[in-house]
Amino acid sequence: MPARIVVIGGGIGGLLTANLLAKRLDRTQATITLVDATGMHVFQPGWLYVALDKANARWLARDTRSLLRREVRLVIDQASHIDVAHRRVDLTRGDQLEFDYLVVATGAALAHDEIPGLRLATHDFYSSAGAERLREALRGFEGGNLVVSVPSMPFKCPPAPVEFTLLVDEYLRKRGVRDRTRIIYVSPLDRVFPIASVAGLVDDLYLRHGIEARMGFRLQRVEKNTLISDTGDQQPFDLAVSIPPNRGAPIAIASGLGNEQGWIPADPRTLAVRGAKDVYVVGDASDLPTSKNGSTAHFEAPRVAEQIVAAVEGRVPNPVRSRYRGLVICPFEVGGGKATVLAFDYDRPPRPLRPNRFWHAATWLFNRTYWLTVKNGRL
Ligand SMILES: Cc1cc2nc3c(=O)[nH]c(=O)nc-3n(C[C@H](O)[C@H](O)[C@H](O)COP(=O)(O)OP(=O)(O)OC[C@H]3O[C@@H](n4cnc5c(N)ncnc54)[C@H](O)[C@@H]3O)c2cc1C
């Protein structure tokens, strides 16, 4: 009987893993089912550009089916519970999927409501609707305090809020309102970027662009156009852009797989979920000590695929192809048609190059070839 493989989540992690498995296993060896709550795959990095009026949100979403290899069965439904002991996934509409191997790729959830006032009083670009609302607010912005606040770690794509401050600086200059605007970056951390080796670069850029940074500000609530910290400090704003707290998907907690924030504990090299045989986690959903990033999922997916393929074929996994070293390669836009790249792994921190036009062009090219990469399960 073919092995039953179930993948939950049709983001970059789930799609790539399912496509890679389908490429390497034929129908006599395995059935591959991908469950996704919406049936639409979204290229989330594009939301930054939507907010800044450089992209249309409609270009960023595609029908999941169109990105999946034919051999993968797609189920559009919300998985509500994972029963590891009985090797079964319950779906909201009442169906159940039995599995021999399970890959959880449910991403990160946004928890606006953990901070009173955040949802209504501030904007974000961490959802399609949020990015479109922010675009409209920026079009009508006539100056004052533009405050960008970040939550405590972890949140997906740590460079995104810094990129936003630098790109919005450029946007406001073009609109002629920058001289009437203070851009203030507010963070609970003690440096402007979570990774120490990158913080110096951001400090320099902020100095050059006149962007203020307020560190050690742990946002507790939002009242009357003011951010209020847990120690009572206040930061008034005319327009606030807040990255909402990020948490693991509710199913992880409901199934007893997630920690208190919902992240799923896993072996950082094999991505095997701790205490759950033949269950793996790919992408933002895990508690791995690395950046929550599309490229992380991109490099993890082949490792998990190799382990499952080897198990189905009854052989030992290839030790190189099955071990994740923590590799992340993340472009970092700084405005002015320039970018750098953050490349690192578990053992080597990033050493960003001076921002240049090459990396900006490379980012642009990557964003346009993304759909091909996902569809073919290529690397
Ligand atoms: C503004 C922004 C900019 C970014 N920029 C970059 C960048 O430049 N480079 C980069 O590498 N990364 C970037 N990222 C991060 C990147 O988008 C994420 O890290 C990546 O999408 C994570 O992939 P994933 O598959 O783990 O989760 P996701 O892509 O979030 O997908 C999760 C999927 O699981 C589904 N799901 C969740 N729960 C269930 C359930 N119970 N049942 C069924 N389906 C479920 C969801 O519907 C979703 O389709 C950015 C993110 C944002 C928001």
Q: Which atom of ligand 1 is nearest to the CA of 64?
A: 49
Residues in contact with ligand 1 by the CB-under-6-Å rule are 8-14, 35-38, 44-45, 47-48, 78-79, 105-107, 125-126, 156-157, 160, 249, 251, 283-285, 292-295, 297, 330-331
> Ligand 1 mean position to 144 CA, how many Å?
33
What single-letter amino acid sits at 30? A
| pTM metric for this prediction | 0.97
**Residue among 284, 334, 363 to mutate when testing ligand 1 (max atoms within 8 A of CB):** 284
Q: Which atom of ligand 1 is nearest to the CA of 43?
A: 17
Read off φ and ψ for residue 178, nearest 5 degrees.
Answer: -65, -35
| Centroid of chain to Cα 80 | 21
The pLDDT-based confidence of 10 (bands split at 50, 70, 90) is very high
Mean pLDDT of the region 120-126: 98
**Residue among 63, 148, 157, 344 to mutate when testing ligand 1 (max atoms within 8 A of CB):** 157
Cα-Cα-Cα-Cα dihedral sign, residues 32, 290, 87, 262: negative
Report the pLDDT value the prediction gives residue 377, as an integer from 0 to 100: 60
Domains, the chain, ranges and CATH? 3-107+249-327 (3.50.50.60), 113-245 (3.50.50.60)
Cα-Cα-Cα-Cα dihedral sign, residues 256, 261, 263, 264: negative
User: What distance in Å separates the CA atoms of residue 322 and residue 308, rounded to the nearest whole number?
Assistant: 9
Read off φ and ψ for residue 73, nearest 5 degrees.
Answer: -85, 130
Read off φ and ψ for residue 195, nearest 5 degrees.
Answer: -95, 120
Per cent of the chain over pLDDT 70 is 99
pLDDT single digits (tens) 72-84: 999 999 999 999 9
Per cent of the chain over pLDDT 90 is 94
Is the pLDDT at 379 greater than 50? The verdict is no
Read off φ and ψ for residue 172, nearest 5 degrees.
Answer: -70, -30
The pLDDT-based confidence of 261 (bands split at 50, 70, 90) is very high
Report the pLDDT value the prediction gives residue 149, as an integer from 0 to 100: 98
Classify residue 314 as exposed, middle or buried by CB count within 10 Å of its CB (0-12, 13-18, 19+).
Answer: exposed
Report the pLDDT value the prediction gives residue 376, as an integer from 0 to 100: 64
User: What distance in Å separates the CA atoms of residue 171 and residue 232, rounded to the nearest whole number?
Assistant: 32
> Ligand 1 mean position to 263 CA, how many Å?
14
Cis peptide before 154 (omega within 30 of 0): yes
> Ligand 1 mean position to 157 CA, how many Å?
10
> Ligand 1 mean position to 148 CA, how many Å?
21
Report the pLDDT value the prediction gives residue 372, as an integer from 0 to 100: 79
> Ligand 1 mean position to 9 CA, how many Å?
9
pLDDT single digits (tens) 237-254: 999 999 999 999 999 999
> Ligand 1 mean position to 165 CA, how many Å?
22
Q: What is the mean pLDDT of the chain?
A: 96
> Ligand 1 mean position to 170 CA, how many Å?
27
Residue 163, classed as helix, strand or coil, is helix
